């Protein structure tokens, strides 16, 4: 559009007027193509299923037999020979995701984590325990990236670290059979920290917890 303006054209576009230019051909245009080509077999493509269905109906009205008209679903295999066409089998078909330099098999968990990172950042928590007793040796250390501005993050992280420290001490004082490591592995500590951070910030960052034994 900018280039058209540079060339002196008067351009009407959607921001200035209630206009829409479809990416799909109109009925008259499709009719002309079918009349000229007279296809022996026809496979409608490009569009939602309802559009494919209507296009197939048009082809049949213009002379292509229903038996030679194929509406394919993603993954359907259309086998063509010199004198026949038929749907013959199915192959797994799904969007191919491009991750960095090439295609990759990325599961939903990775997408969920990346969405959280983009929206609310990441908070890292380091917990130091005794290798012998499993007891907490010092207050947890919290760091964050993309969570809050530095001026806001410092006080909130300090407050949450202190709350987490008190929580871990209560866990120890209850003489529960569950150790701090087990509490981390069962996500109890992660859930407690999520609640603390959300209460203070209304944000839900990705939380990474590491345990160091000394």
pLDDT digits (tens, 9 = 90+) for 143-188: 889 888 877 888 888 888 888 888 888 877 776 556 788 888 888 8
Domain that holds residue 197: 105-213
Do residues 158 and 206 both lie within one domain?
Answer: yes
Do residues 66 and 148 both lie within one domain?
Answer: no
pTM, two decimal places: 0.53
Ranges under pLDDT 50 in the chain: none
Do residues 8 and 60 both lie within one domain?
Answer: yes
Angle 170-174-178 (CA atoms, 0-180°, nearest 5)?
A: 95
In a domain, 56, yes or no: yes
Supply φ then ψ for residue 182, to 5 degrees.
-65, -35
Do residues 134 and 60 both lie within one domain?
Answer: no
Do residues 109 and 207 both lie within one domain?
Answer: yes
Write down the pLDDT at residue 164. Answer: 86
Do residues 86 and 109 both lie within one domain?
Answer: no
Write down the pLDDT at residue 21. Answer: 66
Distance CA 41, CA 87 (A): 12
In a domain, 79, yes or no: yes
Distance CA 54, CA 50 (A): 6
Write down the pLDDT at residue 104. Answer: 60
Out of 90, 119, 147, a domain closes at 90
**Residue pointed to by tokens 């007793």:** 133
Nearest to 197 by CA among 169, 142, 144, 157: 157
What is the separation, in whole angstroms, between the first and last Cα of the chain? 64
Rounded to the nearest angstrom, the gap between the alpha carbon of residue 118 and the centroid of all alpha carbons in its chain is 11
Write down the pLDDT at residue 126. Answer: 92
Write down the pLDDT at residue 106. Answer: 67
Write down the pLDDT at residue 33. Answer: 95
**Domain count along the chain:** 2
Six-digit token string for 190: 């992660």
Q: Which residues fall within 8 angstroms of residue 88, CB to CB, at 6 or more apart? A: 77, 78, 79
Do residues 65 and 111 both lie within one domain?
Answer: no
Angle 91-39-56 (CA atoms, 0-180°, nearest 5)?
A: 60
Six-digit token string for 79: 């086998």
Do residues 19 and 109 both lie within one domain?
Answer: no
Write down the pLDDT at residue 133. Answer: 83
Count Cβ neighbours within 10 Å for each residue of 55-74 and write b for 16 or more, e otherwise: bbebbeebebeeebbbeeee
């Amino acid at each position: 559009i900018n280039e058209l303006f540079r060339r002196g054209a008067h351009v009407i576009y959607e921001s200035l007027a209630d206009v829409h230019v479809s990416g799909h051909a109109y009925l008259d245009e499709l009719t002309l193509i079918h009349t000229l080509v007279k296809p022996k077999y026809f496979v409608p493509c490009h569009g939602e299923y309802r559009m494919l269905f209507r296009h197939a109906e048009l082809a049949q009205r213009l002379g292509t037999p229903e038996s030679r008209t194929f509406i394919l679903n993603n993954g359907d295999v259309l086998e063509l020979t010199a004198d026949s066409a038929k749907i013959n089998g199915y192959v797994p078909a799904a969007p191919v995701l491009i991750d960095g330099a090439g295609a990759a098999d990325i599961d939903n968990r990775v997408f969920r984590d990346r969405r959280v990172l983009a929206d609310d950042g990441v908070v890292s928590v380091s917990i130091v325990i005794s290798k012998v007793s499993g007891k907490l040796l010092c207050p947890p250390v919290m760091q964050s990236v993309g969570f809050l501005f530095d001026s806001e993050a410092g006080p909130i992280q300090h407050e949450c670290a202190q709350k987490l420290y008190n929580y871990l001490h209560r866990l120890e004082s209850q003489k529960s059979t569950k150790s701090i490591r087990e509490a981390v592995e069962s996500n109890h500590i992660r859930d407690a920290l999520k609640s603390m951070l959300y209460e203070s910030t209304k944000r839900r960052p990705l939380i990474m917890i590491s345990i160091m034994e000394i």
